[in-house]
Amino acid sequence: MIQRPRGTRDFGPAEMAKRRKVEQAMRDVCHRFGFGEVVTPTFEHSELFTLRSGQGIIDEMYVFKDKGDREMALRPEITASVIRFYVTDMSTSPKPLKLYYVGNCFRYENPQSGRYREFFQLGAELIGTKTPETDAEVIALAVNCIRDAGLENFVVRVGHIGILKSLVREQIKDEQTAAEVLRKIDKEDWDALGDMFDAKVLPRQLFDKITSIADIKGGVEELNNLEDSESTRHLKEIFEVLKLYGIDDAQVDLGIVRGLDYYSGMVFEIDAPRLGAEKQVLGGGSYTLSELFGGEPVFSTGFAIGIDRVVLASEAEREIQVEPPLDAYVIPAKDDMRKYAFGIVARLRSQGLNADVDLMRRTMSKNLKYASSVGARFAVIVGKDEMAKRSVTLRDMKTGKQELVLADEVGSAIAGSHG
């Protein structure tokens, strides 16, 4: 027996119904915000990802040589692909360009709860300008995606990388040392950063200032404790726009320091506390990437949502309710009613109903048991006496109530029962 690869999953119909409900809710939000869907290749030249994240990411990727001896990689994320697509095909499109995507990604890492080698993302990129309004628009899109997916218990944290970046570059004139400090901050390795300050005889008060800024968390009023700067003003304006969008519970968190080389300004994360250690369900921020791929510099703001984690978090709050898979299951009472049953199921399907019919030549009792087990809302029983009256018996599988309905009207009777 061949097992599935480690870190991957199989999803049955019941699980997929829940996942598709969550995904569709987020897609609908993207469309309401004016974002259009794009699709990019599942594999790309590996250089696309190493240019963005450095050669170190090779160890985390599924990399292979194609038959032309070109180094390819299964995509570990989709943002780089979208910006590559923008540079090659969409750079002359009217700005701002609002794009969203849904797809699977691959990373070679240690599988654990909420973390897999194949995982699924919904993400969005707003390309074209760097204003508080564009940043707030993307945060609002993300919050509404999470809300409409059914999650109630989540925390929105917003920071700005420019505050720590500018502090480090002002105080440390040697570019290589400054870059090394920023890398340590990015990894949140404060012990190693403290050791580095001692080893390089860097001012200890700068280390204390860095850690105190990274510790700033809370309401927007926390920004008043910082020196006035372009970054703090930018953040304050973002929070003002978010309030106008009805989002007044977002928090300031200047400890969000992920991706310092990649992000250039505002950064944000959304956590679902019920997930425990792997609580982050979304990460994003503003960045510049197009010039790495041969394009003109352009500001972008985006995010990626971990669909797997949103589903897990939603299920931790309450069961995700989905519609029954079948509106009707058509049962021929006897073999001589089979041809009538197929005619009726075809008519129900043509009317837009989800309908199935007995294909196994089961007995009536076994068919009713099957209809119940697959969650059909109604059983449509086609019997000789009923057909003589051009009618069928419609059985509500939840209540057991039965009624005689004209065959021509069974579809409208089932459709009218919704809600």
The lowest-confidence range among 112-116, 173-177, 315-319, 352-356 is 112-116
Q: How far apart are CA 95 and CA 345, in angstroms?
A: 49
Give, to the nearest 10 degrees, the angle between helix 204-214 and helix 175-186: 40
CB 128 within 8 A of CB 287: no
Domains of the chain plus CATH, in order, are 13-317 (3.30.930.10), 328-412 (3.40.50.800)
Q: What is the pLDDT of residue 55?
A: 73
CB 125 within 8 A of CB 300: yes
Q: What is the pLDDT of residue 64?
A: 96
Q: What is the pTM of this model?
A: 0.91
Highest mean pLDDT among 68-77, 109-118, 191-200: 68-77
Q: What H or E segment, with its residue span, contains residue 139?
A: helix 132-148
Q: What is the pLDDT of residue 264?
A: 81
Q: What is the pLDDT of residues 207-254, one digit of tens each?
A: 999 999 989 999 999 999 888 889 999 999 999 999 999 999 999 999
Mean pLDDT of the chain: 92
Average pLDDT over residues 316-332: 93
Question: Residue 419 above 70 pLDDT?
Answer: no
What percent of the chain has a predicted confidence (pLDDT) above 90? 73
The lowest-confidence range among 24-33, 277-286, 368-377 is 277-286
